[in-house]
């Protein structure tokens, strides 16, 4: 399988140092979180390494669901910038978060959800024009976040004609079992981390409550061929996760 690593666990090291490290530990895929200090990604730098790149749109200071129209429009612009970056880097994937409910907007959640849908729709059209697969990520069990339910997200990506990033750790906090996590035929990207179900801890794979043996059995059964990204907190957990996958005899491409 195509196993990669997110820059999350190596932040804020320089990209060139991250790329050297990943090549040294025999990882072929890297997901770059496209915000400072990785807000500008040099095409020539990426091209000088053998890694294939996916792009995670910015996480901080943006909200596609914002009830403040200026913030919502600015957030759309940031997603479009990441889509353009992916296109320039010959990356097929951009991961997008759907937004969240601001504190005072809790009294009109329906409007916030509509804002998210409207923003995602605009971004999806832009991604299609750029030849990029936009993959909306399911969120963990945190009250203000949108699209925590993988079934709700499955309906959304079907409607928008885009794809899903299945975050296994997030889904685990929502009490989805592996079979329920993998029901959608539009899963085109997967994030891997572990937790005990109570909080999105981003622990090393195999260290906590997610049944990864069953997960990979199901992935082989459905012939999943896309990238799986290890998204944990630090280098030790990256190495622990890779060791777990090796012991599980997960094939690498």
Assess if residue 252 is contained within a domain.
no
Please, are residues 89 and 53 in contact by the beta-carbon 8 Å criterion?
Answer: yes
- How many domains is the chain partitioned into structurally? 1
Residue with tokens 């320039």: 88
> Is residue 55 included in any domain, yes or no?
yes
The pair of three-digit structure tokens given for residue 221, joined into one six-digit string: 């059964």
Taking the C-alpha atoms of residue 124 and residue 136, their distance in angstroms, rounded to an integer, is 10
Asked whether the beta carbons of 128 and 120 are under 8 A apart, the reply is no
User: The CATH number of the domain where 194 resides is what?
Assistant: 3.20.20.150
Name the residue among 205, 141, 214 with its Cα closest to residue 173.
141
Q: Please give the chain's pLDDT, 253 residues, in tens.
A: 899 999 999 999 999 999 999 999 999 999 999 999 999 999 999 999 999 999 999 999 999 999 999 999 999 999 999 999 999 999 999 999 999 999 888 889 999 999 999 999 999 999 999 999 999 999 999 999 999 999 999 999 999 999 999 999 999 999 999 999 999 999 999 999 999 999 999 999 999 999 999 999 999 999 999 999 999 999 999 999 999 999 998 876 5
Q: Which domain holds residue 205?
A: 2-247
| Residue 253 forms part of a structural domain | no
- Closest Cα partner for 192 from 179, 202, 182? 202
């Amino acid at each position: 399988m195509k196993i990669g690593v997110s820059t999350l666990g190596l932040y804020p090291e320089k990209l060139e140092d991250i790329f050297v490290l990943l090549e040294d530990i025999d990882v072929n895929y890297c997901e770059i979180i496209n915000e400072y200090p990785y807000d500008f990604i040099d095409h020539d730098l990426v091209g000088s390494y053998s890694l294939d790149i996916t792009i995670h749109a910015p996480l901080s200071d943006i909200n596609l669901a914002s009830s403040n129209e200026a913030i919502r429009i600015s957030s759309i612009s940031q997603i479009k910038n990441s889509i353009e970056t992916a296109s320039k880097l010959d990356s097929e994937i951009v991961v997008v978060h759907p937004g969240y409910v601001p504190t005072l907007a809790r009294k009109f959640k329906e409007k916030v959800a509509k804002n998210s849908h409207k923003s995602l729709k605009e971004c999806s059209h832009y991604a299609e024009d750029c030849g990029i697969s936009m993959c909306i990520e399911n969120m963990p069990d945190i009250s203000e976040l949108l699209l925590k339910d993988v079934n709700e997200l499955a309906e959304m990506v079907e409607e928008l004609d885009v794809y899903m990033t299945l975050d296994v750790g997030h889904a685990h906090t929502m009490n989805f079992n592996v079979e329920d996590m993998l029901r959608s035929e539009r899963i085109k990207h997967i994030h891997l981390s572990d937790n005990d179900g109570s909080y999105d801890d981003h622990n090393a794979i195999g260290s906590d409550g997610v049944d990864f043996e069953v997960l990979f059995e199901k992935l082989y059964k459905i012939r999943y061929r896309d990238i799986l990204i290890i998204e944990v907190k630090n280098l030790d957990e990256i190495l622990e996760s890779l060791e777990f996958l090796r012991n599980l005899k997960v094939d690498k491409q």
